[in-house]
């Protein structure tokens, strides 16, 4: 159903040559990202970690990266950014040697500003343009809320993530543009940043993603971005359908922010109900 046509193959090879040329330029770049979320089955990590597994084609190569502990603090102003598909966050991350509790590893002091601008899709199947650094975040902020500076924003979520990732290459795919895109499987366990070790009832959520990313020169046209995002999405979708046991479409997944804000709303309603009964 999703097999590549000859014309599609030619088109993707053309995009591959374009992006390869871009990669050689010493120009500022932005990152294009296609991500699709899924509810991870219990055997996902073990299957990806096995050399031979019944759920995985022998033509799929994968390499596990070091695990990371990430703290993301999201900022907005009366929802004006998120309503327009823009997310600004400060990220701190630490690479850890094994599956170890975040409490044992203090975060580094330096945080990096990151901006994500949605170019298409929804909260489950999304296409983004990403930029990194304080100046890039300021520029995107000024585009959407003129006259506003980063210190004017208010924190909306403060989340910890334990992240495991695997770089993957599907040699069975006929539409893979070699040496152009990177694809990885991401498995996140997300929790609300606790105020103390005694805090209870904190948010907890697990979510998986398949990401396809490419670096392109800053300032490329909107058509160029959309053309490459569509080819990246085809590669991703074909990969997930071919390995459907690893990436189920049911139950419907919820991203970490969607799940967090829903949990927060439910928790507030429960507290209100409890106080009214008191």
| 251 within 8 A of 38, measured Cβ to Cβ | no
21 within domain boundaries: yes
70 is in which domain, residue-wise?
Answer: 6-277
Minimal CA–CA distance to 24: which of 245, 215, 162?
215
Greatest alpha-carbon pair distance for the chain in Å reads 69
105 inside domain? yes
Classify residue 209: in a domain, yes or no: yes
- Cα–Cα dist 217/23, whole Å: 8
- Give domain status of residue 63, yes or no: yes
Judge whether 1 lies within some domain: no
pLDDT of residue 108: 55
Residue pLDDT, tens place only, 193-234? 765 444 556 899 999 999 999 998 888 899 999 999 999 999
Domain count, the chain: 1
171: CB partners within 8 A, 6+ apart? 59, 60, 61
Q: Is residue 92 in some structural domain?
A: yes
Low-confidence ranges of the chain (pLDDT < 70): 1-27, 97-109, 171-179, 194-201, 276-278
Cβ(119)–Cβ(31) below 8 Å? no
Domain membership of residue 228 (yes or no) is: yes
pTM comes to 0.81
CATH of the domain at 231: 2.40.320.10
pLDDT tens, position by position, 121-160: 988 999 999 999 999 999 999 999 999 999 999 999 999 9
Q: Degrees (nearest 5) of the Cα angle 89, 94, 99?
A: 120
């Amino acid at each position: 159903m999703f097999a590549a046509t000859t014309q599609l193959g030619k088109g993707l090879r053309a995009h591959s040559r374009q992006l390869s040329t871009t990669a050689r330029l010493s120009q500022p770049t932005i990152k294009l990202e296609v991500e699709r979320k899924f509810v991870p089955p219990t055997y996902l990590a073990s299957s990806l970690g096995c050399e031979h597994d019944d759920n995985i084609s022998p033509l799929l190569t994968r390499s596990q990266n070091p695990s990371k502990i990430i703290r993301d603090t999201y900022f907005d102003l009366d929802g004006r950014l998120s309503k327009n598909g823009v997310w600004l966050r400060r990220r701190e991350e630490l690479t850890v040697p094994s599956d170890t509790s975040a409490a044992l590893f203090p975060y580094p002091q330096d945080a990096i500003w990151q901006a994500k601008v949605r170019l298409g899709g929804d909260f489950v199947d999304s296409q983004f343009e990403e930029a990194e650094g304080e100046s890039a975040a300021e520029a995107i902020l000024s585009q959407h809320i003129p006259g506003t500076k980063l210190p004017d924003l208010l924190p909306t979520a403060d989340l910890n993530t334990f992240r495991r990732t695997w770089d993957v290459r599907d040699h069975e795919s006929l539409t893979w543009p070699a040496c152009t895109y990177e694809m990885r499987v991401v498995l996140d366990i997300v929790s609300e940043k606790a105020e103390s070790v005694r805090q209870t009832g904190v948010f907890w959520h697990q979510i998986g993603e398949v990401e396809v990313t490419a670096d392109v020169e800053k300032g490329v046209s909107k058509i160029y971005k959309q053309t490459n995002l569509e080819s990246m999405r085809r590669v991703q979708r074909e990969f997930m359908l071919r390995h459907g046991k690893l990436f189920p479409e049911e139950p419907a997944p919820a991203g970490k922010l969607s799940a967090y804000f829903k949990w927060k709303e439910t928790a507030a309603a429960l507290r209100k109900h409890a106080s009214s009964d008191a």
